[in-house]
Structure 1
Amino acid sequence: MDTTNENPLEFNSRIDLNKLQNAVAKIKEELGKIIIGQEEFIELLIVSILADGHSLIEGVPGVAKTITAKLLAKTMDVDFNRIQFTPDLMPSDILGTSIFNVKTSEFEFKKGPLFSNIVLIDEINRAPAKTQAALFEAMAERQITIDGTEYNMAPPFLVFATQNPVEQEGTYRLPEAQLDRFLFKIKVAYPSLEEEVAILERKHQQKVRNEEDLVSAILTAKEIKEYQETIKDVIVEDNLLRYIAAIVNATRTNANLYLGASPRASIAILEAAKATAAMNGRDFITPEDIKKIANPILAHRIILTPEREMEGLTPEKMINQLIESIEIPR
């Protein structure tokens, strides 16, 4: 009996994904030296890097939002800046400002901390709207315009922003246009009891004063760019393009939603699904890849009607209902 094709999961990839997969595995291994649990959180952050998208990370204080993003940045041999957003932070504090040079009698632009490869913005919703809005152009177009001059951001340029739940005191809700710039909104939950015990055990046994020194750089800027180009070659069947469009379109026609998702959301699902497939060693996407990343892409881009919100419906539950209502292509 011919058993050559007995296992349907075995196939020859048309794209060499071994190097990419090994890099992802090493990144997870480095983060595992310090971070316990949070597998989905870390995986989504890696997907956002491969898909060249920004990530908004939400959770209560103390669940390792900032340290995880910071350590992930440390696994990449690129420039990194951390900006703490506060109520008195001004746009010029992050973008930079023009300073008069007495010697040349001309104004010179002094770049702010936003000019970096990986930018970690801590507590983005602690700053007022005008400072939040200063990020719009940089996040969408990878450039900043100051005094009529355009300054390009060196690739890769990725923003990881943490925020506290909007119900907490002293926060400024991000506007819809700002939220739409983020590929993902990742909600970080409390650890399980077993994970918290493991966290305490590791902390008790930890002899290194600065645990960040345990993490080594895995990727260079050139390799990140190479992997971002690789996932563009991942194959997407026409019926899956229609499936993505159907999911996003359903957010615009549902009576429970006041605001649906834009075409930017469709593109985000496409790119993130490609990255997810590549991380799993496949050069083609499946409906499962789309379903896996649809919620963190769509939930922050929709607004429920006040009636449904009062009834306890959440954007995450709404997206799950929409996905279940759409026929999966075969």
Structure 2
Amino acid sequence: MSAQFPVARPRRLRRTPALRRMVAETRLAPADLVLPMFVKEGIAGPQPVASMPGVVQHTRDSLRKAAHEAAEAGVGALILFGIPAVKDGTGSGADDPAGIVQLALRDLASDLGDAIVVMTDLCLDEYTDHGHCGILTAGGEIDNDATLERYASIAVAQAAAGAQVVGPSGMMDGQVGVIREALDKGGYTDVSILGYSVKYASAYYGPFRDAAECAPQFGDRSTHQQDPANADESLREVFLDLDEGADMVMVKPAGAYLDIVRRVRDAVDVPVAAYQVSGEYAMIEAAAEKGWIDRDRTIMESLVAIRRAGADMILTYWATEVAKKLR
């Protein structure tokens, strides 16, 4: 049993910044951060995303510059989202060797080598004209198994272009197993899979859909993304992905689901990622712009909370900015 007041005075260890740093239970490092980046085909210069101040749709050239900046700051990884000039019903640009993400991957592999991990989002919503994550039936529903065939092809195309990690985000049943098999058959056994294993049908994704130009043209994604009311289901999804060969798992969003991050961290022995999504980013930026909160302190507090909940890595649009401050 520990001592009691007045002998015990916990405030002794909070008196100075140096003391607080020394006894901090949770630490955040640049390598813990993953920077989501958007690259768009056919634009002359970076295009600001109105609902995400400070975030842009990159050209290939501006992406290369921003990727160098992130690597120099010590950011652990990048994850690429592509926006093609032309979209169609099958998302054909997603696995086109000359598609925007494949071209950007080759640029970054040439520029950066092993200086930073390069990941890719593996989905169809940015590439389809209907904005959904898969192939549609005649009745307008997602055909899970037909979609898996497309995911397998996309995984191989991304790996061939230089992706070190692929992140299937569509929440299709069986997606990790099909992708693992396709990568192995293609000779890409060293390419890792970050399973978007716990992805909720969240209202926090709105600004992302502006950035990636992928808002559904009808309906929503509640038939394949998880119900925010459910928690036990998240562990079932995680274990299914691990059984199929996922090397890492993710919880998305992060801030409103810290309880899920902790449950997943306690349940598995692989790296756990959490995605601080666009709505979380936009809310902090908007409140800070109004002068209602201290921007820098709120950003750091939000990230430390995600780490404290158990995330090994955090996908955040502030990755480069925060990495510079941490260094």
Per the normalisation by structure 2, the TM-score is: 0.29
Per the normalisation by structure 1, the TM-score is: 0.29
Higher RCO by CA contacts (8 Å cutoff, separation 6 or greater):
1
Higher-Rg member (1/2): 1
